[in-house]
Structure 1
Amino acid sequence: MTCQKTRHNFTKIAFKPLYTNLFNIVLLSIFLSVGSSKLYSQDIIKKTKAIPAKEQIDSKISNVKTDSTVIAITKTENDSIKKDSLRPKKTFLNGKVKYKADQYAKIDQKKKLITLYDKAELYYQDVELKAGIIIMDYEKNEVYAGRIRDSTGAFTQNPNFKQGANVIEPDSIRFNFKTKKALVWNSRSEQGEFKIKAAITKKENDSVYFLKGARFTTAKDIDNPEYYFQTNKVKFIPGKKVVTGFTNMVIANVPTPIALPFAFFPMSKETSISGIILPSYNDSNNRGFSLQNLGYYFALSDNYDLTVLGDYYTNGSYGMRFESSYAKRYSFNGNLNVRFENLINSERGYPDYSKQNIYNIQWSHSKDSRSSPNSNFSASVNLGSSKYFQQSINQVNIGSNLNNTLSSSVSYSKNFNSIPQVRMSLTATHSQNTQTEEINMTLPTLQLSMDRIYPFVGKDGTKKGFIKNINLQYNLNARNSITTTDSLFFKPQMFRDAKIGFQHSIPLSTNFKLFKYFSASTAMNYEEIWYTKTIERSFDQDQSRVVDKTINGFDAFRTYSVSSSLGTTIYGTFNFGDEKKIQSIRHVMRPSVSYGYTPSFEKYYDTYEADATGAMRKQYSRFENGIFGAPGLNNSNILGFDLSNTFEAKVTDKDSTKMEPKKIMLLNNLNLSTSYNLDADGVNSLAFSPVRISGGTQLLDNKMNVNFGATLDPYAIDNSGNRINLFNINNGGSLFRMTSSNMTVNYSLSSTGKDKPEKEKNVQSQRNGGREDDLFGTNTDLGDSRRTQFEDENEEEGEDKISEFFKSELPWDITFAYSLTYGNNNRENEIIGNSIMISANADVTPKWKVGVSTGYDFVQNGVTFTQLRFERDLLSWRMDFNWSPFGANANWGFFVGIKSGVLSDIKWDKRSTINR
């Protein structure tokens, strides 16, 4: 019930002539008495029915010990006594107040106070307040909140003040609901990656705060941070910026000489903001002093950004890099990196002076299939100077250095929902040999294919038998091929040397069962090749050599071929008994015989004079230099043999509770293949081709992959190393002569038994053309020094984790690779390659991670590339040291800096440069 303040009413008395009537005398006396005293009146408030407390309790605070009370302003009705002109004071509350407390909730209507004690909570408008004690003065429009002492005398239950999206955790707070102003003592708040603590905070309004005695940090523990920025005067605008006076950096509670007369900290609510990227200082013997990775980050929109970075050396060398990422939800995503470097060695006039330009372009794009199911566009581009990764001043990537090929592919494909369905793809490819600097490109390749048509299938749609399985297709392969070098890349001559060709093919095939156990297939293929250029070959008397003259114009040739195959599957099981450790071995063989015939197309061949006398004449085809080659001059009548094998075993399971035996794979595959030329004349032709053997298996719970292969030649060789038409066994040798063999072993083992997560793989190295693993060390991109090897840091830190130090399982992983190659093609009988490589990573403590990549070449008798890696997790900071102690690529690098992206420019990055 609310009460209205009493007011004073004075009654005026008018005197009349007195009569000697007793009644009148008594009545007059009463009026005189009343007229000399004060009369009070009070409005009678209409009683309203009380609202049950439980109906007003918010769902978030349903479990309470003290009943919640709702305070609301109700309109009162006056009694019959007329009020004066003075209006009552209007109560400030404009809505419902919800509150609760564990020990008690006290309402003092006379003082207009609500007192909540122990785990107190108050909800009013957009304010949520939790504290040990809360006092609300609803006459002054203010609320007070603070801590309380526990049984030991320590302060507990710090206030938690939330208004809208802003949260403050102070020691105590005083807030005015009407003016929105507040005074906060020892406030703690988070703004993006920053954590802020201030001795006194004055909230001017919803958008401006003034702080005194403040510290800013990205550390997890705001009360005991590893580092912070100390300042006394601060103007703080949540979600936008912080402007401070004199600011000093403090590390481990020790003030450092790093100080600024004023400071500006951006605190945008956006995921990223534009800003300057500070450089790192370095020096080089060949190029002088340098500033590396000076640049600017442009947050262009929510869908794409741009980073511009540059390096400058005092001898004139410089580098520029443009990196952009883009994405559109449910549509596509990708990134583009463009790198250019102008490299100058030594000084002009010195004998070792050199100057060159190198560049590299990387583009990755992928499309979400949900945006358009019938079409797709993708790109994976890595092209540039062949020596970029060997000579770059801002890349240390040994895996990329040892890779001999750069490749790219950009493709667009679309399915046309016609009958029959048609598929089209348009692809541009690029392949570059970094050793020979030769570049092969297709700009573009058009492929068009039509679904199989079964002209003899019945109305029921079944495709059984020789006739009903007959089907045909149509395929088109149109290609514009370019072969050039680094020096001619994208110059006019590159396009003049382009070769254009169209390949049309119509395959006709069928398959059927033969004698129940054999699968047979037969096919006929018709091809038509179109060229826009052909050649004319002749002997040039002036140059005394054979020359080819290019003939521009349309020309074509047509070929056909037939083929067939017959295969079956044979199963064999060898049982040893259920009581044996190896209960049985299962052998599966899949032999097949194939036959292919292509006739001679001699009509497309001409003759030319091979010498100046004209007596020697040779045949050639005007289509020889075409993309798809020339038609065959001789018959091809080949009979092929293939045999594939798999071996698996059933063994008794080590787990005695399991009744069924365990299946293990002994050999995933063991393949043998060879062929015989039926048209070989037996005198000058070698009818049998070498036998190729290949196989592989997995051991140690599928952690070790073993692959091997060998080539066996049935023919002997002469003293010059040439194959002769004489079987090796008839020449005093064995049945087969092993010309080459190889074996590779790869083994990966980790403490978790799982593969490395994607973020720990050498993704950038693989994109550059190197390896995904770290057998050749990790990729070091000097533009991104904050990359860490530690797991996600959302894990709980502090005393609980430190106390489990000796109980923790420290993760580790090992990658092992062994390669052996044997050569005996010309009776050299030697080991061509024999090397072992090992990479290991381990956490020696929960905060220390070490790694090593090394190996040994037993042929060259030397240690392969070696890298030592050390990393220290310093909570808010990261320390990293990489060292390649010897070799042509010997280098070292040290980095220490703040992990947070907002303060990523606070770092010390020192690295040696590779003299290239």
Structure 2
Amino acid sequence: MTLQKTSHNFTKIAFIPLQTNLFNIVLISFFLTFGFSNLYGQEILQKRTPLAVLKQTDTTTKPPTSKAKPLVAAPLQDSATIKVDTVVSKKAFLDGILKYKAKQYARIDQKKKQITLYDTAELYYQDIELTSGIIILDYQKNEVYAGRIKDSTGKMTQYPNFKQGSNAVQPDSIRFNFKTKKALIWNSRSDQGEFRIKADVTKKENDSVYFLKGARFTTSKNIDHPEYYFKTNKVKFVPGKKVVTGLTNMVIADVPTPIALPFAYFPMSKETSISGVILPSYNDSNSRGFSLQNGGYYFALSDNYNLTVLGDYYTNGSYGLSMESSYAKRYRYRGNVNFRYENLITSERGYPDYSKQKIYNLQWSHSRDAKSNPNSSFTASVNLGSSKYFQQSINQANVGSNLNNTLNSSVSYSKTFNSVPQVRLSVSATHAQNTQTQIINMTLPTLQLSVDRIYPFVGENGVKKGFLKNINLQYNLSGRNNIVTTDSLFFKPQMFRDAKIGMQHSIPLSTNFKLFKYFSASTSLNYEEVWYAKTINRSFDPNQSAVVDKVVNGFDAFRTYSFSSSLGTTIYGTFNFGQDKKIQSIRHVLRPAVSYGYTPSFEKYYDTYATDASGTMNKQYSRFEGGIFGAPGLNNSNIMNFNLSNTFEAKVTDRDSTKVAAKKIMLLNNFNLSTSYNLDANGTTALKWSPVRVSGGTQLFKDKMNVNFGATLDPYALNNSGQRINTYNVDNGGSLFRMTSANMTLNYSISSTQKDNSKKKDQVERNGGREDDLFGRNTVQNNRNISQFDTEDTEKEDSVSDFFTAKLPWNMTFAYSLTYSNNNREKKITSNSIMISANTDLTPKWKAGISTGYDLVQNGVTYTQLRFERDLLSWRMDFNWMPLGTNANWGFFIGIKSGVLSDIKWDKRSTPNR
């Protein structure tokens, strides 16, 4: 036996003595001289069969030689005969190179056929990596053993870490056979997807099958002391695929619960998602009875798209069906589709409060990556369905969407043709639905075509300077199929019969130039031609004793033209107060602009009709009235528009004395005044001036508060009937202007940390609700595993010191709205409300939030929601309560965070009493 140096990292398996000494040489020579025995280059254990003599040769003339050759078993020859060893050399038991090292020593025992590695031992062979405190390799039995060692205090340290391919195990000790690939593992710990598995004894049958005894499964990060786990005694485990167990019991806080299953199946696919059953949740309602909600099946159709089918059933006969699908292709597109249908029955047939209705909602969102095709794009944002869906749906409590009065949709495709000049084409379909009046306005579709500007007078150098060279013309085409309908007629034949089709062509000819060096001037001449597929013929019908419009099908068109011009400049003013002042200077920027527009009368497109049976009273009308692009004007339009925009900015001394430069702050982002003057207004009843519109806005407190305000100032007075008259208000004993309306809004958001604005839109925003949570957070029953708060979950343990030293995050949103009306001397505040939303962490694991408000006009509390949430490490518990209004309800949820075990939950929510 020889001592192998610890610095050696490689060894061969066919071991022979690598060194000789003088004693061995003398001993071998003695036996060769006297011929008492034959000497062989290898030891034959437990074998006494004589070796066959293949050849005898007289070699007395040639002295024998003997030299040991490592790694090869070579027979020695005497002076008379040569005997060939017929024993076949054993093949090395390892097929590859074995690498190993250790911190204290690596010892080779030739007698026991073992290699011992001690302290921070490492062994590498093919796809096997083994690290441990001690490793013993028995190359005769083709086995390796790894275990822990004791430190100076007697504590067991350096646990083994066995990794084969992508499977890793951290046991107390392991015994592995290289030939059979079988292993025995004691107290193994391994991660499989979201699961963490610990077993008392593990038997590795082959590369793909394990048998476990005394195993526990959990999604907790602390495998040795989990807050919950599933305990079972017999397990068959296929890594990356599945786990099949015998009797399984759920243990919470080391206390066995009565929750047990005779057998259990846990999928552990390496794929991103797998198909499976979604267990329903139980609920009850006073008006619909007991129910099972959101049960169904999840289809993992491919890596690019999936499908979830869910259903609800109530004992009174109500039911709901929904389909949800998400799809994506990297660098190409992504989107999702949600559809839900509900058949709602309230109370029982024969009772006075019995009712039955059918509601539905369709949502589709699609976006395409601009890199896939820079010359074209396709987007979709669809939200349509029954007008009362969000108010009546039994599957969600969505206050933000419930208060929204409109549903909007848009699907568009655009393409750019890289021709000269460039041509842009877009086709879109839009949808606008008023949930109060149930009126739906759709364009199905809208066609837009535009040809890029053409500069006919630009020279070869391409310079566009001056009046002549800046003259350009375009061509624009707009075609629409407009449909106005209601919920009851949506997608029925009458909806399409009432459609209005039209096409508008326009050719604007324009130019811009500098005037007197400081003024920017522009002028344009626009030609339009409108095509309609339907017109009207208005007349008095004596049978109905009323004026009726008869639809005339057939192509018809009208042509108009108009002229416009504008002149504007920018004026800068600075008021300096001195460098030693707190406010060093104020900068005022004015942008006055004057524009003029003229459109002549197109009386030739007007006819007359009788308003009564006598035919003596006639009125003018245009057969193009009611068209989607309107009708040509009957009177001249000769209007002068005035606009003045202002911005105010200040330079102030920075509070930080180390900074030399002054700090710029914005006083007013914008302050605009606009009005117009009608040059053709004549007569005592004609009003030349339009009301002055004042609007502005600014940001305060380091841009945390947004302030916006507006007002309408009318220069004309009112008569006793409340009508505007051609008399200035100042001449009627009043002020210069009469304020007819005013509004102001304040929005203030603060938080203890920087708010992340890059988060994706939640379901409230996709439904058309507010971006903030002033009306509360959305709660959808099939999505309760997601936190109600924006803060990230943590796995940190609570402690007394954490409670007093931790910086608890919080955020608050404040909104104030005021509207004043004085159109008819009512001087009334029509809207005055305050809304507030706040979220905070009461402790590192407790979160709380509130959304509420008060209406100062109605003297009542607005929609209020209280939110609480507790982080239970692997579990999450939350409670939300809306105590007021028609949507008053409460909900409680506790469940496992992991998506693999998302069906292990208790979800209870009251039904809103609508």
Range class of TM-score, shorter chain: over 0.9
Alpha-carbon shift at residue 529 of structure 1 (Å): 0.2
After the TM superposition, which residues 781-800 of structure 1 pair with which residues of structure 2 at under 5 Å, given as runs? 781-789=780-788, 797-798=796-797
Q: Once the 2 structures are TM-superposed, how far is the Cα of residue 901 of structure 1 from its aligned partner? A: 0.8
- 2:542 matched to 1:535? no
1:216-270 C-alpha deviation (Å, 9 max, x unpaired) = 0111111000100000011111111111111000000000000011111111111
Shift of 1:852: 0.2
Secondary structure in structure 2 of the residue aligned to 1:400: helix
1:880–1:894 CA contact under 8 A, matched in 2: yes
Q: Which residue of 1 aligns with 2:337?
A: 336
Is contact 1:45–1:78 with CA below 8 Å preserved after alignment?
no
Q: Deviation at 1:615?
A: 1.1
3-state SS of paired residue (1:214): strand
Moved more, 76-85 or 891-900: 76-85
1:369 aligns with: 370
- The offset of 1:803, in angstroms, is 5.8
The answer to whether the 8 Å contact 2:40/2:74 transfers is: no
Distance, in Å, in 2 between the alignment partners of 1:230 and 1:384 is: 48
Question: What is the CA distance between 1:109 and its match in structure 2?
Answer: 2.5
Q: Secondary structure at the match of 1:494?
A: helix
Residues 815 and 337 (structure 1), Cα distance of their counterparts in 2 relative to 1, 3 Å cut: same
Describe the superposition over 1:780-808 as per-residue Cα deviations: whole angstroms up to 9, x where unpaired.
Answer: 11111100146786866358x88644332
- Structure 2 counterpart of 1:909, one-letter code: D
CA distance in 1, matches of 2:583, 2:344: 65
Counterpart of 2:767 in structure 1: which amino acid?
N
Moved more, 133-142 or 686-695: 133-142
Shift of 1:83: 2.6
Structure 2: which amino acid aligns with 1:853?
S
Deviation per residue, 1:478-522 (Å, 9 max, x gap): 000000000000000000000000000000000000000110000
Q: Is the 8 A contact 1:896 1:909 kept in 2?
A: yes
In structure 2, distance between residues paired with 1:136 and 1:518? 92
Q: 2:802–2:844: 8 Å Cα contact kept in structure 1?
A: no
Q: Aligned residue for 1:766? A: 765
Match of residue 285 from structure 1 = 286
Superposed, 1:392-411 pairs within 5 Å as 392-411=393-412
Q: Residue 194 of structure 1 aligns with which residue?
A: 195
Q: Do the aligned partners of 1:665 and 1:698 also contact (CA within 8 Å) in 2?
A: yes
User: Aligned ranges for residues 177-216 of structure 1 at < 5 Å?
Assistant: 177-216=178-217
1:761-819 Cα shifts (integer Å, max 9, x gaps): x62101101101100000111111100146786866358x8864433211110000000
Q: Is the 8 A contact 2:793 2:871 kept in 1?
A: no
Superposition pairs of residues 475-874 of structure 1, within 5 angstroms = 475-755=476-756, 758=759, 763-789=762-788, 797-798=796-797, 804-874=802-872
Change (3 A) 1:300 1:45: farther
> Residues 385-436 of structure 1, C-alpha deviation per residue, up to 9 Å, x if partnerless?
0000000000111110111100000000000010000000000000000000
Shift of 1:91: 2.8
Q: Distance in 2 between matches of 1:634 and 1:753?
A: 57
Please tell me the residue identity of whatever aligns with 1:788.
S
Contact 2:217–2:230 (CA under 8 A) maintained in structure 1 = yes
Q: Which amino acid aligns with 1:829?
A: K
Counterparts in 2 of 1:310 and 1:777: CA distance versus 1, 3 Å: same
CA contact (8 A) 1:650 1:661 kept: yes
Distance between the aligned counterparts of 2:790 and 2:554, measured in 1? Answer: 63
The CA deviation string for residues 115-153 of structure 1, in whole angstroms up to 9 with x for no partner, is 111111110111000111111111111110001111111
Per the TM alignment, residue 34 of structure 1 is displaced from its structure 2 partner at its CA by 5.2
Compared with structure 1, are the counterparts of its residues 792 and 640 closer, same or farther at alpha carbon in structure 2 (3 Å cutoff)? closer
Equivalent AA in structure 1 for residue 540 of structure 2: F
How many angstroms apart in 2 are the aligned matches of 1:866 and 1:821?
A: 22
The code of the aligned residue for 1:836 comes to: I
Residue equivalent to 2:157: 156
- The amino acid across from 2:117 in the alignment is L
Deviation (angstroms), 1:3: 5.1
Q: Is the 8 A contact 1:512 1:521 kept in 2?
A: yes
* Aligned-partner residue type, residue 116 of structure 1: L
Give the 5 Å matches for 1:406-417.
406-417=407-418
Contact 1:219–1:875 (CA under 8 A) maintained in structure 2? yes
1:55 — aligned with what? none
Unmatched 5+ stretches in structure 1: 6-29, 49-73
Deviation at 1:476, TM superposition (A): 0.1
Q: What is the aligned counterpart of 1:899 among 892, 897, 910? A: 897
Alpha-carbon distance in 1 for matches of 2:384, 2:75: 90
- 2: CA distance between counterparts of 1:263 and 1:183? 24
SS in 1 for 2:214: strand
Relative to structure 1, the CA distance from residue 505 to residue 791 in structure 2 (aligned partners, 3 Å threshold; closer, same or farther) is closer
**Contact conserved, 1:429 with 1:444, CA < 8 A, in 2?**
yes
Cα distance, 1:830 vs structure 2: 1.0
- What secondary structure sits across from 2:782 in the alignment? coil
Residues 830, 138 of structure 1: alpha-carbon distance in 2 compared, 3 angstrom cutoff: same
* Contact 1:502/1:531, CA 8 A, preserved across alignment: yes
Higher mean C-alpha displacement, 280-289 vs 804-813:
804-813
Distance 1:291 1:139 in 2: 63
**CA drift at 1:886:** 1.7
Q: Could you report, residue by residue, the CA deviation over 1:605-664 in whole angstroms, capped at 9, with x for unpaired residues?
A: 000001122111000000001100000000000001000000000000001111110000
CA distance in 1, matches of 2:757, 2:678: 49
Task: Report the equivalent of 2:22.
Answer: none
Q: Are residues 412 and 463 of structure 1, via their aligned partners in 2, closer, same or farther at CA, if it must alter by over 3 Å? A: same
Distance 1:269 1:793, change over 3 A: farther
Given that 1:605 and 1:621 are in contact with CA atoms closer than 8 Å, whether structure 2 keeps it comes out as: yes
Cα contact 2:41–2:74 (8 A) shared by 1: no
Task: Evaluate the alpha carbon distance shift between residue 418 and residue 802 of structure 1 in structure 2; reply closer, same or farther with a 3 A threshold.
Answer: farther
Deviation of 1:103 after TM superposition, in Å, equals 1.5
Instruction: Provide the rounded CA distance (Å) in 1 between the counterparts of 2:433 and 2:32.
Output: 121
Residue 612 and residue 790 in structure 1: after superposition, are their counterparts in 2 closer, same or farther (change >3 A)?
closer
Residue in 2 that maps onto 1:124 = 125
- Paired residues for 1:165-180 under 5 Å: 165-180=166-181
Of 651-660 and 748-757, more deviation after overlay is shown by 748-757
Establish whether residue 249 from structure 1 lines up as the match of residue 250 from structure 2.
Answer: yes
Q: Which residue of 1 aligns with 2:219?
A: 218
CA distance 1:45–1:360, change in 2 (3 Å): farther
Query: Counterpart of 1:465 in 2: which secondary structure?
Result: coil
Match of 1:566, as an amino acid?
L
Q: Find out whether 1:298 has 2:299 as its counterpart.
A: yes
Structure 1 830/177 Cα, relative in aligned 2: closer, same or farther at 3 Å?
A: same
Contact 1:529 / 1:557 at 8 angstroms: preserved in 2?
Answer: yes
Pairwise CA RMSD: 1.8
Q: Secondary structure at the match of 2:749?
A: strand
Secondary structure in 2 aligned to 1:41?
A: coil
Residue 554 of structure 1 aligns to a residue in which SS? strand
Deviates more, 1:277-286 or 1:99-108: 99-108
C-alpha separation between the residues in 2 aligned to 1:496 and 1:772?
38
Question: What's the CA shift string for 1:855-910, capped at 9, x where partnerless?
Answer: 00000000000000001110000001000112211100000001111111100000
Structure 2 Cα separation of the partners of residues 574 and 666 of structure 1: 14
**Once the two structures are superposed, what CA deviation does each residue of 1:451-481 show, in whole Å capped at 9, x if it has no partner?**
0000001111100000000000000000000
**CA distance 1:142–1:768, change in 2 (3 Å):** same
TM-score w.r.t. length of structure 1: 0.92
Q: Deviations over 1:292-331 (max 9, x none)?
A: 1111101111111000111111111100110000111111
1:650-696 per-residue CA deviation (whole Å, 9 max, x = no partner) reads: 00000111111000000000000000000010412111000000000
Q: Which residue matches 2:888?
A: 890
Normalized against structure 2, the TM-score is what?
0.93
| Aligned pairs, number | 864
- Structure 1 runs (4+) deviating above 4 angstroms are 1-5, 30-35, 43-48, 74-81, 789-796, 801-805
Matching residue of 1:235: 236
- 8 Å CA contact 2:892–2:908 kept in 1: the answer is yes
Taking the aligned partners of 2:654 and 2:404, their CA distance within structure 1 comes to 44
Gaps of 5+ in 2: 1-11, 18-29, 43-65
Q: Distance in 1 between matches of 2:447 and 2:32?
A: 119
